[in-house]
Structure 1
Amino acid sequence: MTMNNDQAVDHLQKLLGTVRDGETGFRDAAEHAEAASLKTLFQARSAQRTKLAAELEAKITALGSQPRERGSVGAALHRTWLNVRDAVTGRDDYAVVAEAERGEDVAISNYQEALNDAALPADLRDFVQAQYAQVKSSHDEIRDLKHRMEADKK
Structure 2
Amino acid sequence: MLTNEQIGDALRKLSGTLRDGEKGFSEAAENAKDSSLKSMFSELSSQRASMASQLEPLVTQYGETPREGGSVGAALHRTWLNVRDAITGRDDAAVVAEAERGEDVAKGNYEEVLKEELPADVRSMVEAQYAQVKASHDKVRDLKHSMETAKS
TM-score category, normalised to shorter length: over 0.9
More displaced 10-residue stretch of structure 1: 65-74 or 135-144 = 65-74
Alignment partners' CA distance in 1, 2:88 and 2:122: 43
Alignment partners' CA distance in 1, 2:81 and 2:25: 14
| 1:57, distance to aligned residue in structure 2 (A) | 0.9
Q: Which residue, 135, 140, 147 being the options, matches 1:142?
A: 140
| 1:64, distance to aligned residue in structure 2 (A) | 4.1
Structure 1 segments unaligned to the other structure (5+ residues): none
Aligned match of 2:127: 129
Alignment partners' CA distance in 1, 2:67 and 2:85: 29
Give secondary structure in 2 for the equivalent of 1:144. Answer: helix
Length-normalised TM-score, structure 2: 0.97
Give secondary structure in 2 for the equivalent of 1:11. Answer: helix
Alignment partners' CA distance in 1, 2:30 and 2:69: 21
Alignment of 1:33-48 (within 5 A): 33-48=32-47
The one-letter amino acid paired with 1:63 is Y
Alignment partners' CA distance in 2, 1:16 and 1:63: 13
| 1:121, distance to aligned residue in structure 2 (A) | 1.7
| 1:63, distance to aligned residue in structure 2 (A) | 3.0
For the pair 1:52 / 2:51, whether they are aligned, the reply is yes
Number of residue pairs the alignment of both structures matches = 152
More displaced 10-residue stretch of structure 1: 101-110 or 53-62 = 53-62
Give secondary structure in 1 for the equivalent of 2:90. Answer: coil
Aligned match of 1:76: 75
The one-letter amino acid paired with 1:79 is R
The one-letter amino acid paired with 1:120 is L
Structure 2 segments unaligned to the other structure (5+ residues): none
Aligned match of 1:90: 89
The one-letter amino acid paired with 1:53 is A
- CA RMSD, 1 decimal: 0.9
The percent identity for this pair of structures is 63
Which deviations, in whole Å up to 9, do the C-alpha atoms of 1:20-77 show, x marking residues without a partner?
Answer: 0000000000000000000000000000000011011121123343223221000000
Give secondary structure in 1 for the equivalent of 2:79. Answer: helix
Which deviations, in whole Å up to 9, do the C-alpha atoms of 1:101-139 show, x marking residues without a partner?
Answer: 00000000000000011x222221111000000000000
The answer to whether the 8 Å contact 2:12/2:65 transfers is no
The one-letter amino acid paired with 1:126 is S
